[in-house]
């Protein structure tokens, strides 16, 4: 091909044809990349709709109010081979939105409440706590659970009757940002410049 173009005069028409060929090759590479990403990265982002238990007394008093209640959305994103990120867009009974990162390699969780931000929207406070592997043993187990849900429906509806009570079961202790950041394989971008607090399991839970 090099000899073919060298032996011919580089006319504007020939240059235009060459540019079209290169553009088509580029588009083909992009298309192949999209196909490969769809095949091997099927767990990119998934959405779960969280419904609180129905208040029977509220239903009797005002059925329309119950049916109009909006669910909360939980987005699951597999950020890397070791981290999974969760974004909660909360409606009642949740009082705010939040971001959570689980690092399965180091065994730590980062939590950023979107209510704790400055005027520019940057988080001022982040929390760190150890991962309970009895609940989520590995990122592969999480991928399998999310994948099973995605296989059934485009997004998963979850209506739980337990777990909506608010209990504070931790004591917060200040921790240096350098020490906190060292416990994650990938940088927690949402917590850059924030103060960190380590959450330690408390002996007695306190209702909130």
Query: Mind listing the pLDDT tens digit for each residue in 20-45?
Result: 888 888 888 888 877 766 555 544 67
The answer to pTM > 0.85 is no
Per-residue confidence band for 152, with pLDDT thresholds at 50, 70 and 90: very low
Tell me, rounded to whole angstroms, the distance of Cα 111 from its chain centroid: 12
What are the domain boundaries of the chain? 44-201
Per-residue confidence band for 131, with pLDDT thresholds at 50, 70 and 90: very high
Q: Are strands 83-89 and 72-77 parallel, antiparallel or unpaired?
A: antiparallel
How far CA 192 is from CA of 111, 124, 126, 150, 195, in Å, comes to: 12, 9, 9, 32, 9
Whether the pLDDT of residue 124 is over 90: the answer is: yes
- Cα–Cα distance between 92 and 85 in angstroms, integer? 22
Whether the pLDDT of residue 175 is over 50: the answer is: yes
Q: What is the pLDDT of residue 197?
A: 96
């Amino acid at each position: 091909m090099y000899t073919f173009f060298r032996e011919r005069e580089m006319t504007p028409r020939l240059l235009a044809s060459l540019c079209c060929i290169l553009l088509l090759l580029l588009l083909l590479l992009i298309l192949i990349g999209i196909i490969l990403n769809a095949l091997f990265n099927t767990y990119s982002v998934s959405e779960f709709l969280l419904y609180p238990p129905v208040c029977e007394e509220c239903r009797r008093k005002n059925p329309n109010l119950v049916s109009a209640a909006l669910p909360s959305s939980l987005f699951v994103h597999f950020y890397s081979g070791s981290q999974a990120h969760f974004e909660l867009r909360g409606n009642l009974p949740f009082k705010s939105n939040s971001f959570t990162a689980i690092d399965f390699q180091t065994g730590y969780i980062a939590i950023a409440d979107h209510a704790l931000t400055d005027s520019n929207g940057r988080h001022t406070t982040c929390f760190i706590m150890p991962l309970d592997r009895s609940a989520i043993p590995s990122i592969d187990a999480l991928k399998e659970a999310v994948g099973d849900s995605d296989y059934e429906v485009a997004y998963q509806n979850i209506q739980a009757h337990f777990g909506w009570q608010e209990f504070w079961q931790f004591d917060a202790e200040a921790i240096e940002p350098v020490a906190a950041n060292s416990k994650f394989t990938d940088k927690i971008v949402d917590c850059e410049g924030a103060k960190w607090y380590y959450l330690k399991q408390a002996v007695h839970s306190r209702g909130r």
